[in-house]
């Protein structure tokens, strides 16, 4: 249903934004909060981890070792910048530092939410920050791609 709504509204990345909007409207309109059983959440995280682990290939890493080293350096810089952003968010809003850092950390949303739950952070705020980050990225990316495409022509 959400995919269909995304295509009908001509949304960028309709496969994500369509179900996102339908889910958001459902959460707003339902008279009771939706809760996911912890066992289903854990099984979902297990499947995500297994699917990532099965794709790991040492031959590819060896062939692309220079690119991998550059990527590692860039990821470390990104993590340090995001730690700084999280710390500044903590200072400005007085939100606990764990929640602020996890909310600004790049990566898989499911892993970050699992970390927030396990470490005792405010998982609702972390999810809000992560989804806001993802939504901004999804809304800005098509505009930036067309801007750079026009500037190179």
Instruction: Give the pLDDT confidence of 140-153 residue by residue, as tens digits.
Output: 988 888 888 887 77
Which are the contacts of 11, defined by CB distance < 8 A and separation ≥ 6? 17, 18, 21
* pLDDT of 46: 95
Contact 86, 97 (CB under 8 A): yes
Mean pLDDT over 107-115 rounds to 86
Instruction: Report domain extents, the chain.
Output: 70-153
Report the predicted TM-score, pTM, of the whole model to 2 decimal places.
0.52
Mean pLDDT of the chain: 86
* pLDDT of 150: 84
- Three-state DSSP at 31 gives coil
pLDDT tens for residues 31-63? 888 788 899 999 989 998 898 778 777 887 687
């Amino acid at each position: 249903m959400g995919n269909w709504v995304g295509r009908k509204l001509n949304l960028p990345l309709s496969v994500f934004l369509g179900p996102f909007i339908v889910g958001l409207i459902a959460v707003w309109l339902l008279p009771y909060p939706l809760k996911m059983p912890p066992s289903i959440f854990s099984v979902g995280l297990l499947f995500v981890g297994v699917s990532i682990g099965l794709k790991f290939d040492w031959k590819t890493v060896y062939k692309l070792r220079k690119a991998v080293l550059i990527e590692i350096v860039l990821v470390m810089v990104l993590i340090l910048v995001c730690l700084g952003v999280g710390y500044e968010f903590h200072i400005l809003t007085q939100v606990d530092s764990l929640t602020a850092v996890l909310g600004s950390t790049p990566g898989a949303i499911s892993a970050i939410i699992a970390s927030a739950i396990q470490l005792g952070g405010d998982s609702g705020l972390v999810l809000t920050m992560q989804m806001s980050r993802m939504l901004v990225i999804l809304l800005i990316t098509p505009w930036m791609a067309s801007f750079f495409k026009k500037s190179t022509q």
